[in-house]
Amino acid sequence: MRRVALFLSVLVGFSFTLIAGSIAAPKVVAKIDLSQQRMSIIVNGRKQYSWPVSTGRRGYRTPVGTWRPTVLRRMHYSRKYYNSPMPHSVFFLGGYAIHGTGAIKRLGRTASHGCIRLHPRNARRLFSLIKTYGKRNTRVKIVR
């Protein structure tokens, strides 16, 4: 009977280890603060970067919540807004994406139709991090 109890306790402990491993914290977090118009990039629990962004201007909204990236595109052209270039796009909710912009003078204040705009160099860095760690290990978190 003791052997059975020991076996069951080892099995239960192993099961908890598997479950905990499958819900481990993401390796990359892109946290966007709408009130500050800034994005923080956290890699393996440590803040690596902080960049100015432009999010939804008056009349357009940037959603609040947490998502995994769904699609990565080195170069995407908006079908909705005049075929505008969106380099290093990281889509996370339907047509919403984080992407580079040529309008770098507007970074740090609202200016977009709802996407999160970054300096092209920073968009490339984020894109590369997500490619390295994987979409499953990345979260996009948007807060007010």
**Is residue 8 a part of any domain in this protein?**
no
**Is residue 10 a part of any domain in this protein?**
no
SS3 10: helix
**Is residue 72 a part of any domain in this protein?**
yes
**Is residue 77 a part of any domain in this protein?**
yes
Residue 37: closest CA among 47, 51, 58, 21: 51
pLDDT at 24: 83
Number of domains in the chain: 1
pLDDT at 19: 46
pLDDT, average across residues 89-95 = 98
**Is residue 60 a part of any domain in this protein?**
yes
Asked if the model's pLDDT at residue 61 lies above 80, the reply is yes
**Which structural domain range is residue 69 located in?**
26-143
**Is residue 21 a part of any domain in this protein?**
no
pLDDT, average across residues 113-136 = 98
**Is residue 19 a part of any domain in this protein?**
no
Q: What is the pLDDT of residues 2-52, one digit of tens each?
A: 554 444 454 445 444 444 445 689 999 999 999 999 999 999 999 999 999
Here the tokens at position 69 are 């990236």
**Is residue 6 a part of any domain in this protein?**
no
**51/118 Cα distance (integer angstroms):** 8
**105/87 Cα distance (integer angstroms):** 17
Kindly report the CATH number assigned to the domain that includes residue 117: 2.40.440.10
